[in-house]
Structure 1
Amino acid sequence: MALKLLQNGRLLTRAFQNLHITPTTSTIFAKNNDLNLNFSRNTSFFVKLPAEDLWKGVTSVSNAGRKRGRAKGLVRRKDLNRGQVIGVGKANIQWPGLSAPIIRGRELIQRQQLPPDPEREAKLIKMRDAMSSKGYQKLSPLDRGWTGAKLGGRSIGAPDPIGDDNFEGFDTKVIEYKQVFNMKGNLGRKRRLSAFVVTGNHNGLAGFASAKAVDGKAVLRKAKNRAAQKLMYIELCDGHTVFHDFFCQFGLTKIFVEKKPEGFGLVCHRAIREICQLVGIKNLYAKVEGATGVQHIVKAFFLGLLKQKKFEEIAESKGLHLVEFKPELGNFPRVVASPKVCRKEDDIKYDEIMDYTQVAMNGKVVLKRKKYPPFYANTYGYHIHLKKLEGRRNHFKIKFDMLKEHGTIKSFLTDKYPDARPHGFILRDAYLKKKAEGEETSAE
């Protein structure tokens, strides 16, 4: 082999036998000083060691340092092969049989240069960093639970099918996910994971269960499949709420639940809200008193849902008609249930509880916060306002009661003096009277 160099406009050819190489130096000296070559090292610290040793130098810590908490701020290992696909690189080329099918329909695909993808490097970096910061991929805000870092409130899907039975339309929410420890005589402190979940089909079927296992995926699968075997049917009132207000208790946990009209929403504890969504309840108010452990809250609320009484059962137990007043219907009375034999007024005892709320709450009364007077209650201007308002302070309530009872605003003098009614109603009555006379004339 010969070296061909162009020097001073002429071609120099030197054979290796004319070179004198000194072993202790990295320089080649040619005869007559015509040729000088320098060798360079092609190995370094970053190429000499494998990737496993390089990552170990960045991510490892001694056992003594780990006990002192020095392992918390270490860099997590990145998978540099994540997102790399065979046949796809910086040069965006379509390779038939590798990165693209050979035949597309009736078209034979040829190798071709595609337009460059400027976001490829950014996507690879984002994909690699997703598992490096905290050990899990960032979730969408809609997929998060009660917090961004824990499993509480997160959906884990429907239970696994049992034979030919598929749980279509079901969903499972994690209520509690924690570590539990048990001291063994031969194994020492044994660590396991505990999960408490609720599953439901958003249409009255729901169940809850807890499970323990060593692996996280195993404990979630075990808990949701166990909850699917303990389903309970809960009937809904009008398809969106409970039948009546009720009180329920489990241990030291007490819950007061109130029925609410459509559009109110779910104003309650977050564990109760998850249960309501899985059962199908859309409007409800619940107040929790006492202990606030989520397992006791779930058990107490399920007990209250199962102990609900239908309207027919309440009417039959009291022997009276059950009448409902709804604000959205103008508080118009509506009989929702009637007993087979209705009691008379003489049959009702003087000390019998007739308040529907106390009957539904089983004699319990919600402790409501005391209402304090506003800051302007003792001012001079507010007292003047009350004096001016004294003559008409109950007008709105009286108008409302008149419309509810008589359908119009009138007093005991209205029959004798027809003008003794509000001005707007006089015009309305005259208009209705004139309209009725016109209809009679047209009918004739």
Structure 2
Amino acid sequence: MKNIQLKENKMKTNIFEEKVIQINRISKVVKGGRRFRFSALVVVGNKKGKIGFATGKSQEVLDAIKKALEKAKKNLINISLSGTTIPHQIIGKFSASNTLLKSAPKGTGIIAGGKAARTVFELVGIHDIISKNFGSRTPINVLRSVVNGLKNLKTVKDVERIRGINLKERFKEKAINK
């Protein structure tokens, strides 16, 4: 029975694709010299609108990556998609980093500067998008501004639910009244 549960747990964790964006070596100066540690920035996603990211720190690179993966899988968010692109243009902001995200027609591909933004789009499942980074271009700031922008996206159904109206009927009434 336990073997079956372990296999099911492994299958659940394998639905997410994982990518390491950055590994930094951090040094702390102490009385006896320098102590080195590693920091890893990791993104996980299922290519169907779910994504998570985190940083992990440890004295070994693999341990830092493992810690980051565990944290990232705990902090997953859902992204509203419109086919292979995003529903509308939006600006994501975090700290000194701003990222403009524009929907693009099918076949455009991912036009994004930097490894962080491109990785996020691939792991969310966006195939056609244009993005431009303004301000700070460090990977963590770009990553957070992109995720902030994606998190704030709203589909037509979301807007209808928030406002409590049916937009299609509303526009039909306006067309008839003219």
TM-score category of the 2 structures, normalised to the smaller one: 0.7 to 0.9
Letter in 2 for 1:338: K
Give the counterpart letter for 2:110 in structure 1: L
Structure-2 separation of matches of 1:163 and 1:225: 17
1:283 matched to which residue of 2?
A: 128
The alpha carbon displacement at 1:342 in A equals 8.3
Determine the structure 2 residue equivalent to 1:253: 97
Offset at residue 312 of structure 1 (A): 3.6
CA distance in 2, matches of 1:163, 1:230: 21
- Report what 1:338 is aligned to: 168
Could you tell me how far apart the structure 1 residues matched to 2:17 and 2:162 are? 37
Change (3 A) 1:341 1:285: closer
One-letter identity of the residue aligned with 1:199: V
More strand by share: 2
| Structure 1 counterpart SS, 2:108 | coil
Q: Does 2:52 align with 1:207?
A: yes
CA RMSD of aligned residues (A): 2.9
Note the residue ranges of structure 2 that are not aligned, 5 or more in a row: 1-5
Tell whether the 8 Å contact from 2:23 to 2:39 is kept in structure 1 after alignment: yes
Q: Corresponding residue for 1:183?
A: 29
- Residues 320 and 300 of structure 1: CA distance in aligned 2, closer, same or farther (over 3 Å): same
CA–CA distance in 1 between the matches of 2:18 and 2:59? Answer: 20
Distance 1:202 1:312, change over 3 A: closer
Change (3 A) 1:247 1:191: same
SS in 2 for 1:286: strand
The yes-or-no answer on 1:298 pairing with 2:120 is no
Letter in 1 for 2:35: K
Q: 1 CA distance for matches of 2:171 and 2:33?
A: 68
Quote the sequence identity (%).
26
**Alpha-carbon distance, 1:164 to partner:** 2.7
1:262 matched residue in structure 2: 106
Question: For the residues of structure 2 that align with 1:313 and 1:227, how far apart are their CA atoms?
Answer: 26
**2:55 & 2:8 partners in 1: Cα distance?**
23
Q: Which residue of 2 aligns with 1:169?
A: 15
Letter of the structure 1 residue corresponding to residue 154 of structure 2: K
Could you tell me which residue of structure 2 aligns to residue 231 of structure 1? 76
From the superposition, tell whether residues 271 and 219 of structure 1 become closer, same or farther in structure 2 (CA, over 3 Å).
same
Distance 1:182 1:344 in 2: 66
Q: What residue number does 1:85 align with?
A: none
1:222: how far off? 1.7
Offset at 1:311? Answer: 1.4
SS across alignment from 2:81: coil
Q: TM-score normalized by structure 1?
A: 0.35
Q: How does 1:42-441 map to 2 (within 5 A)?
A: 164=9, 166-184=12-30, 186-238=31-83, 240-269=84-113, 270-314=115-159, 337-338=167-168
Equivalent pair of 2:80/2:155 in contact (CA under 8 Å):
no
Note if contact 1:194-1:211 (Cα within 8 Å) is conserved in structure 2.
yes
Over 3 Å counting, the alpha-carbon distance change for 1:268 and 1:241 in structure 2 is: same
Aligned 8 A contact 1:320 1:342 in 2: no
- Partners of 1:259 and 1:283 within 8 A in 2: yes
TM-superposed deviation, 1:183: 2.8
The answer to whether the 8 A contact 1:182-1:190 is kept is yes
- Based on CA coordinates, which of the two structures has the bigger radius of gyration? 1
Q: Spell out, residue by residue over 1:343-365, the C-alpha distance to the aligned partner (whole angstroms, 9 max, x if none).
A: 969xxxxxxxxxxxxxxxxxxxx
- With over 3 angstroms needed to count, the CA separation of the structure-2 counterparts of 1:230 and 1:216, relative to structure 1, is same
Change (3 A) 1:319 1:211: closer
Q: Contact 1:196–1:295 at 8 Å: present in 2 too?
A: yes
Bigger share in helix = 2
From the superposition, tell whether residues 187 and 212 of structure 1 become closer, same or farther in structure 2 (CA, over 3 Å). Answer: farther
1:300 positional shift = 0.6
Contact 1:192 1:212 in 2 (8 A): yes
Cα offset, 1:299, TM superposition: 0.5
Give the Å deviation of 1:254.
Answer: 0.9
Hey, what does 2:3 align to over in structure 1?
none
Structure 1, residues 182-209: CA drift from partner, whole Å, max 9, x if none?
A: 233x554221011001011111111000
Instruction: Report the 3-state secondary structure (helix = DSSP H, G, I; strand = E; otherwise coil) of the residue aligned with 2:134.
Output: strand
